[in-house]
Chains A and B, each alone.
Chain A
Amino acid sequence: MAAADDLKFQEFDDAANLLAANPGATTISIDEPVQIPKNQRSRLQEPGREEDDELLGTDDSDKTELLAGQKKSAPFWTFDYYQTFFDVDTYQVLDRIKGSVFPVPGKNFVRLYIRSNPDLYGPFWICATLVFTIAVSGNLSNFFIHLGKPTYHYVPEFRKVSIAATTIYAYAWLVPLALWGFLMWRNSKVMNIVSYSFLEIVCVYGYSLFVYIPTAMLWIIPERVVRWVLMMFSLCLSGSVLVMTFWPAVRDDNRRIALATVGTIILLHALLSVGCLAYFFDAPEVDFPAPIIPAHNGTTVITKSVNKVTMPVSPSVQ
């Protein structure tokens, strides 16, 4: 039979008094997580990591990591699994497009806009639009360049649509695959703090191609200088999105490998745009081989005007 005293509610002193009474006792403190102010947090780390915090957006990355763990639980042979990749609203897609066209220096596209919700809608339809835009614009620009020439007969050039489709879809899906494989391999050797999933890389590449759509439409203008200026401008914009995304992922690695990786990314991007410009858009001011009229004294006179810049006849070389 317990004593009546034991059954009475006993007041416990607060922790300080108890500890003073029995200094050897083990204590466990369960507190609210202390919010270290941001400047203090970055002071605790190396100074070089400050931009990483901004790039990572660590303010709510904890929440997004939790959310990422709760998504995508359906097995991959069900329709619901693929529906998780299309879980975007109109304003989200428009925001991501805006982020790729106006890259904010220092902000990581993936962390800022994708936030563990990569979608396949953007990459797929931006690539489709780009394919048809390049084919249609190329056709239109060739039409306007050769308009008025007597030997010219308009052709729709439908074959080029399939070539454009193959090129752009291969670029937008195979290059991310290779890059993801490469990053995974380097991750196993060097511990990186930033690593991307395959879908996030596909997302970045897909949205970075958006700026080429208005560029392709403006490439109809048949001036060589204008076209090259446009190309450099769009290459800078989309290249900067890619560089700012992937530089934190390779920065911890060997310096040369990091620079080589980023250099390869930019080089492939430039190859794509130069190749599209060269193949689908004829060089402006191409002079057809003019009939040569032999003059009286044997000198030849070329009937076409020579004050234009004469280009080589083969249309595939700028």
Chain B
Amino acid sequence: MGAGLYFFLSKALKTVQFAGLADVSISEDIPVEGEITVPVGSHSPEDDFSTLDEPVKDTIMRDLKAVGKKFVHVMYPKKSSALLRDWDLWGPLVLCVSLALMLQGGAADSKDDGGPQFAEVFVIIWFGAVVITLNSKLLGGTISFFQSLCVLGYCVLPLTVAMLVCRLVLLAGAGTVSFIIRLIVVVAMFAWSTLASTAFLADSQPPNRKALVVYPIFLFYFVISWMILTFTPQ
């Protein structure tokens, strides 16, 4: 009799318990979906420096403009740091090759007594510039090696212009008047070269050794000027 009562009561209670949940249905598998990709914002900064995709003309024009800007800086030497910051050796190479080429053709009767050969001019300019740079660094200068080479090479520009003028004057004649004109032009350009390179390089030297650094630069441009002045065509 008691078990029957218990059975009846538990059934009644179950019915009452689950009455509110009768209309809820739970399905077996629930698919989850969404997006994994990160949304891309603006251009990343690395893309701007990659110059692989630009046309070749742009690359060459950019370098040529840099070289041209430095030429202008040499002709009007102000205390700007553009020459020192972005150094390049294209300009010195072009100047050196053109100067060495223009110094050719001054042959003499015997091979031994002629003017400097192409290789000699090249070696003098580059070896001289390296020695002067080493000298200024050994004396305690703070300028870097290639910056100094760049400045010394670019400051050969006035002397290259002087060589061009000398060749043109020599086309007209080789007398005393032409020699005087050549002398004045070469002396003026030599002074310009020395002052331009000193203006760029002097600040990086210790103050009580400035003369020790400027003198080799003076000697270097003097030797180049001597080669230009003594050029005699055959």
Chain B nearest Cβ from A255, distance in angstroms: 43
- Of the candidates B106, B113, B216, B223, the one whose C-beta lies within 8 Å of that of A125 is B216
Complex: A180 Cα to B206 Cα, angstroms: 34
Q: A83-B140, A121-B139, A132-B219 are in contact. Are A155 and B212 (CB under 8 A)?
A: no
Contacts of A129 in B (CB 8 A): 219
Q: Decide if B212 touches A158 in the complex (CB within 8 Å).
A: no
- 6 A-B pairs within 8 Å (CB atoms) are namely A90-B209, A125-B135, A129-B219, A156-B114, A156-B230, A158-B116
Contacts of A121 in B (CB 8 A): 135, 138-139, 212
Contacts of A154 in B (CB 8 A): 230, 232
In the complex, which range does the number of interface residues on chain A fall in? 20 to 34
A286 within 8 Å of B by Cβ?
no
User: Taking CB as reference atom, which chain A residue is nearest B206?
Assistant: A89
Main secondary structure of the interface of A (DSSP, over half): helix
Complex: A136 Cα to B223 Cα, angstroms: 9
Task: Give A67-100 as 1s and 0s: 1 = Cβ < 8 Å from B's Cβ atoms.
Answer: 0000000000001001101101111010000000
Task: Give B194-234 as 1s and 0s: 1 = Cβ < 8 Å from A's Cβ atoms.
Answer: 00000000000000111110011001001100110011100
A153 within 8 Å of B by Cβ?
yes
Q: Decide if B212 touches A136 in the complex (CB within 8 Å).
A: no
Contacts of B114 in A (CB 8 A): 155-156, 158
Q: Decide if B113 touches A156 in the complex (CB within 8 Å).
A: yes
**Other contacts beyond A132-B222, A132-B223, A156-B231: 15, CB < 8 A:** A83-B138, A86-B135, A88-B209, A90-B210, A91-B208, A121-B135, A125-B135, A153-B232, A155-B114, A156-B106, A156-B113, A156-B116, A157-B113, A158-B113, A158-B116
Q: Decide if A90 touches B211 in the complex (CB within 8 Å).
A: yes
